[in-house]
Amino acid sequence: MPVGLTEQEIERVDELVGTRRKVARGMPLYLSGESFQSLFAIRTGFFKTEVVSEDGREQVTGFQMAGELMGLDGIGTGQHNCDARALEDSEVCVIPFNRLSELSREIDTLQHHFHKVMSREIVRDQSVMMLLGTMRAEERLAAFLVNLSQRFLSRGYSATEFNLRMTREEIGSYLGLKLETVSRGLSRLQDEGLLSVSNKNIRIHKLDDLKKAMSPRC
Amino acid sequence: MPVGLTEQEIERVDELVGTRRKVARGMPLYLSGESFQSLFAIRTGFFKTEVVSEDGREQVTGFQMAGELMGLDGIGTGQHNCDARALEDSEVCVIPFNRLSELSREIDTLQHHFHKVMSREIVRDQSVMMLLGTMRAEERLAAFLVNLSQRFLSRGYSATEFNLRMTREEIGSYLGLKLETVSRGLSRLQDEGLLSVSNKNIRIHKLDDLKKAMSPRC
DNA sequence: ACCGCGCATTGATCAACGTCAATAATGAGC
DNA sequence: GCTCATTATTGACGTTGATCAATGCGCGGT
């Protein structure tokens, strides 16, 4: 949350958070087409966001964890443009968007912070475009795991040992691969000694080499 | 530009636009790493945005035309995160970001409009992710052409006859394909009678069928 | 108007990934 | 603790798009 606020301002930002909401594993936080009213800040848990095209194609557009903001895609049209679904039992803070708008008009630090969050989401999406447009299957997997690793680390968890919350199919959808290719890729990274896979449990042995595996074949 | 403003507000939004800037074909509007100060609204011309990864990979992340806003990616870090380059001689309005921030704190219509623009950019990026993640080469090409067609139409130009401003290689980079694949795809769409290609000139004969060509094989 | 280089097209071959299929392992629910 | 459905692994094979290569064309610059 933004720093550099007066105590009074902090109080007002606190009261901005309307309610909390629990979302059980597998349940939607919101669905595409629903009216957009609020943003959601994840307190605990893990989500995926997924877009469904007219012809029925599904694409996972991201995995979100504690501290991240969801729902930004709904501002433009007033309707949510993707489904957000909990991958484990989760809890979110509900942030009514019109109150956020009002308050950010009064507290410029809040305004600036909000703009930064939106901009970073754009940059994140662009790096996924790069991944999908230019990387080979094993490189995508390595990039995906390194990204997860860094995000766990920044939350105080281990960067080298964690449990995946999503299935191979969901990983594949996110990375533009089929689930079999994801499975083979993980097996291959394991064979190369970079990590151990046991179902959803990942132990990274050589994080440096995994980072190198994001780049074209050595 | 936003509607529903008083005359006084319109004046103030007008004075927000600091200067204009001309960018010759091939020249950068900004480069990755440069300090972010302003957003740019395209008055005339055509741009591409491109990200370059650490290991040297390049990915075109979008093509922008008159009326569209560029530079949103720089807000989060204070530095531009991609290159923006003119594909033809162009002119932009320079919008100093700190003045936009101030003014949007006073004019809520402006604030809301700005938030919508950012949100739509996120949604646009997600639909590119869908394209890159799930579509086959010819489907991507069809989707690309249909998108261009609609954007020309909404600007008062022909939806069925236009000139591409970018090379096959740039199209390929955007679509996650090699330039040869782009060329073959265009030839194939031509053979199927959906359109005519003559270098950069495109004439769409069957827009409906082209839209259908975005979906999996019939 | 001309020249030259960048851009586009097309063909042949190849590798990566998808598809289809069979089996195994896991864990959620009773 | 057991069972079944879901998820994951692995193999064999097919297809798509990448790669390599050669040729032709057009347009920008002088």
Encode pLDDT of B162-209 as tens digits: 999 999 999 999 999 999 999 999 999 999 999 999 999 999 999 999
| pLDDT score recorded for residue B17 | 85
A26-35, A54-63, B5-14: the lowest-pLDDT one: B5-14
Q: Is the pLDDT of residue A8 over 80?
A: no
Q: Chain-wide mean pLDDT for chain A?
A: 93
Q: From residue B213, give the alpha-carbon distance in Å to each of B142, B152, B155, B209.
A: 6, 20, 24, 6
- Cα–Cα distance, A69 to A71 (Å, whole number): 7
Q: Is the Cβ atom of A179 within 7 Å of strand D at any atom? A: yes
Q: Chain-wide mean pLDDT for chain B?
A: 93
CATH topology of domain B7-124: Jelly Rolls (2.60.120)
The mean per-residue pLDDT over the stretch B89-115 comes to 94
CATH topology of domain A7-113: Jelly Rolls (2.60.120)
Confidence at A32, pLDDT banded by 50, 70, 90: very high
- Do A132 and B175 meet the contact criterion of CB atoms below 8 Å apart? no
Classify B19 as helix, strand or coil. strand
Q: Is the pLDDT of residue A41 over 70?
A: yes
The mean per-residue pLDDT over the stretch B131-160 comes to 97
CATH topology of domain A135-212: Arc Repressor Mutant, subunit A (1.10.10)
> Least CA distance to A134: which residue of chain B?
B176
Burial of B32 (0-12, 13-18, 19+ CB in 10 A): middle
Q: Is the Cβ atom of B181 within 7 Å of strand D at any atom? A: yes
Encode pLDDT of B9-62 as tens digits: 777 767 788 799 999 999 999 999 999 999 999 999 999 999 999 999 999 999
> Least CA distance to A214: which residue of chain B?
B55
B109/C27 CA-to-C1' distance in Å: 52
Encode pLDDT of A171-199 as tens digits: 999 999 999 999 999 999 999 999 999 99
Encode pLDDT of A200-218 as tens digits: 999 999 999 999 999 987 5
| pLDDT score recorded for residue B11 | 72
CA atoms within 13 A on the CB side of A125: 28
- Cα–Cα distance, A178 to B37 (Å, whole number): 42
| pLDDT over 70, % of chain A | 95
Q: Which strand C nucleotides have any atom less than 7 A from protein CB atoms?
A: 7-12, 16-21, 25-27
Each domain of chain B, given as residue ranges in start order, spans 7-124, 135-212
